[in-house]
């Protein structure tokens, strides 16, 4: 499969996984609204196609397939809502949340928001902790157009068809993604390519990458990441070009590319942050990586045919590294490359833009009123969309200078990454699923 030109990404296509086609976060071919109001306390609703409640607690981002929206959630059996900590700060504190839960997959009509079906993938007490700001359903679903893949870490891998029938489930054991004995919670979504599913399971005690058969869940290969990538919350990125495909995993102390067929290592690069969360993605024919939280906070652009150790300053870095920019990386939010620029957001409300071809910084600007940016950025129609935990979506004009087009009230915090399909932007807030058109 040849790489798709950036301008064609998301062009009238479904949004089948985290950040849409090829994980790029870009949609094309339709006008997108810049200004709206989804907060009834801020006046009449404007531009909102629908707004419906979502049960339970989850940061699972919406995906779109065949006129339906899919998300997942963790619903307490007691009926009460699990608490979230929303104040600024990232202390490594696990939530006291071990009540029995239902891990559910939900389907909604993409035009009306009507719930079409709800299925329970697993019922029981959580087998691992979550962070105070996280949930037991952080991960986003993935679909190949026929089946839905849900992975909840310690709560298992589950395959449904699009009508909600469970086809199979696989228990990969406890994946306790913690640091220094403090719970953080699982956050890496599944990636699909053909009949293969890639999963990152970076439990520090036993970190591994595994590829399974989408048809029956049987394991094809597994590689240990001990000493290579002992912490990662990023979704694996499958890059296919010609007859070869690779799985790129953002990790610490190394970010690594593996051959999709065999699991053999293709290249690695020294990671800059010890809590890698952003997902790798491709644009302009290159693979982009970033991380922060200590270290050098780099952004890397890498050639897909790279081999060996690409770390700047290594003994033989070769020509696989196109450029590296230090001190400008993102900690939580995955950046977006839109046209000629890469846009990054920080957890304290700073937006940066770099030239996507050279790494040259174009601007750095703090958002008006600040804002904690945890959701990943998406773009289309000359606009970059930046959701915040403060319940606002900042809309920027794409280009080499900072220009804010609108600050849109959402009424509820936005942890999840938006999905875009045919001119409609779908948001999952802490309480609701809503569509803006």
Task: State yes or no: pLDDT of 67 exceeds 90.
Answer: yes
Find the domain containing 290 and state its range. 6-436
The per-residue pLDDT of the chain, averaged, comes to 92
Point out the least confidently predicted range of 8-17, 172-181, 298-307, 360-369: 8-17
Query: What is the percent of the chain with per-residue pLDDT over 90, rounded to a whole number?
Result: 81
Residue 117, in any domain of the structure = yes
Per the structure, the count of domains in the chain is: 1
Query: From CA 234, how far away is CA 389, in angstroms rounded?
Result: 20
Residue 80 vs residue 169, higher pLDDT? 169
Strand partners, 70: 63, 107
What number is the average pLDDT over the span 45-50?
A: 97
- Percentage of the chain exceeding pLDDT 70: 94
Phi, psi of 169 (to 5 degrees): -140, 150
Residue 89's pLDDT is what? 62
Label residue 11 by pLDDT band (50, 70, 90): very low
Residues 85-101: what's their mean pLDDT? 78
**Which tokens in the block code for residue 183?**
């719970």
Do the domain assignments include residue 97? yes
Strand locations in 271-356, DSSP E? 281-283, 286-290, 299-302, 308-309, 321-325, 336-338, 341-345, 350-355
pLDDT of residue 147: 97
Does residue 93 sit within a domain? yes
pTM for the model stands at 0.94
CATH number at residue 347: 2.130.10.10
Q: What share of the chain is helix, strand, coil (3-state, %, to 5)?
A: 5, 45, 55
Distance CA 370, CA 349 (A): 5
Residues 371-400: pLDDT tens digits?
Answer: 899 999 999 999 999 999 999 999 999 999
End-to-end CA distance of the chain: 33
* CA atoms of 375 and 405, how far apart (whole Å): 19
Tell me, what's the pLDDT at 243? Answer: 84
pLDDT recorded at residue 8? 40
Q: Strand runs (DSSP E) across 334-431, as ranges?
A: 336-338, 341-345, 350-355, 361-366, 378-380, 383-387, 392-397, 404-409, 419-421, 424-428
Cβ proximity of 396 and 402 under 8 Å: yes
Confidence check: pLDDT of 47 > 80 = yes
Q: In this structure, is residue 370 part of a structural domain?
A: yes
Average pLDDT over residues 228-236: 91
Owner of token pair 């940061």:
59
Whether pLDDT at 5 is above 80: no
Interval 111-123 mean pLDDT:
98
When pLDDT is averaged across residues 243-248 and rounded to a whole number, the result is 94
DSSP 197-216: EEEEE--TTS-EEEEEETTT
**Mean pLDDT of the 287-315 span:** 91
- Give the pLDDT mean for 6-16: 61
pLDDT > 50? residue 3: no
Q: Is the pLDDT of residue 18 over 80?
A: yes
Q: Which residue has the higher pLDDT, 6 or 32?
A: 32
- Look up residue 222 and give its two tokens: 């597994």
- Residue 91: pLDDT band by 50, 70, 90 thresholds? low
Give residue 12's pLDDT: 58
pLDDT of 20 > 80? The answer is yes
Residue 382 confidence (pLDDT): 98
Asked whether the CA dihedral 139, 345, 250, 22 is positive or negative, the reply is: positive
The whole-number pLDDT of residue 185 equals 86
pLDDT in tens, 348-373: 999 999 999 999 999 999 998 778 99
Sorting pLDDT into bands at 50, 70 and 90, what band is 142?
very high
Instruction: Give the pLDDT confidence of 165-200 residue by residue, as tens digits.
Output: 999 999 999 998 876 666 778 999 999 999 999 999
Listed in sequence order, the residues at least 6 apart from 404 whose beta carbon sits closer than 8 Å to its beta carbon are 367, 368, 394, 395, 396, 397
Q: In this structure, what token pair is assigned to residue 218?
A: 């049987």
Asked if residue 369 is part of any domain, the answer here is yes
Flag whether 1 is in a domain.
Answer: no
Range in 15-19, 229-233, 325-329, 343-347 the model is least confident about: 229-233
Is residue 33 assigned to a domain?
yes
For the cut 50, the answer to whether the pLDDT of residue 263 exceeds it is yes
């Amino acid at each position: 499969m040849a790489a798709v030109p950036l301008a064609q990404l998301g062009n009238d296509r479904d949004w089948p996984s985290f950040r849409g086609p090829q994980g790029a976060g870009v949609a094309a071919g339709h006008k997108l609204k810049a200004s709206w109001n989804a907060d009834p306390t801020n006046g009449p609703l404007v531009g909102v196609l629908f707004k419906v409640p979502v049960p339970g607690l989850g940061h699972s981002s919406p995906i779109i397939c065949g006129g339906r929206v899919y998300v997942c959630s963790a619903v307490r059996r007691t009926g009460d809502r699990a608490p979230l900590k929303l104040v600024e700060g990232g202390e490594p504190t696990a939530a006291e949340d071990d009540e029995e839960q239902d891990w559910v997959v939900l389907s909604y009509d993409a035009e009306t928001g009507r719930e079409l079906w709800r299925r329970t993938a697993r019922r029981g007490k959580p087998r691992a902790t979550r962070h105070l700001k996280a949930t037991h359903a952080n991960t986003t679903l993935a679909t190949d157009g026929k089946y839905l893949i849900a992975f909840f870490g310690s709560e298992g891998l589950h395959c449904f068809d699009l009508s909600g029938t469970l086809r199979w489930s696989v228990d990969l054991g406890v994946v306790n993604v913690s640091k220094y004995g403090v719970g953080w919670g699982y956050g890496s979504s599944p990636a699909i390519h053909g009949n293969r599913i890639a999963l990152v399971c970076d439990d520090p005690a036993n970190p591994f990458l595994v590829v399974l058969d989408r048809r029956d869940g049987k394991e094809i290969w597994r590689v240990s990441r001990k000493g290579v990538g002992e912490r990662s919350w990023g979704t694996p990125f499958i890059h296919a070009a010609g007859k070869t495909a690779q799985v790129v995993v953002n990790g610490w102390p190394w970010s690594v590319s593996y051959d999709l067929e065999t699991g053999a290592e293709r290249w690695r690069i020294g990671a800059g942050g010890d809590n890698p969360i952003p997902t790798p993605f491709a644009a302009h024919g290159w693979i982009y990586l970033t991380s922060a939280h200590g270290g050098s906070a780099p952004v890397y652009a890498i050639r897909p045919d790279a081999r060996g150790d690409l770390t700047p300053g290594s003994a033989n870095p070769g020509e696989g590294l196109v450029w590296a920019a230090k001190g400008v990386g993102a900690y939580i939010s995955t950046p977006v490359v839109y046209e000629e620029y890469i846009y990054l957001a920080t957890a304290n409300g700073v937006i940066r833009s770099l030239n996507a071809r050279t790494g040259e910084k174009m601007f750095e600007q703090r958002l008006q009123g600040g804002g904690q940016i945890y959701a990943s950025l998406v773009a289309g129609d000359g606009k970059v969309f930046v959701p915040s935990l403060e319940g606002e979506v900042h809309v920027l004009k794409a280009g080499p200078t900072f220009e804010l087009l609108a600050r849109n009230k959402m009424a509820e915090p936005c942890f999840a990454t938006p999905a875009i399909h045919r001119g409609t932007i779908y948001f999952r807030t802490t309480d609701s699923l809503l569509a803006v058109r």
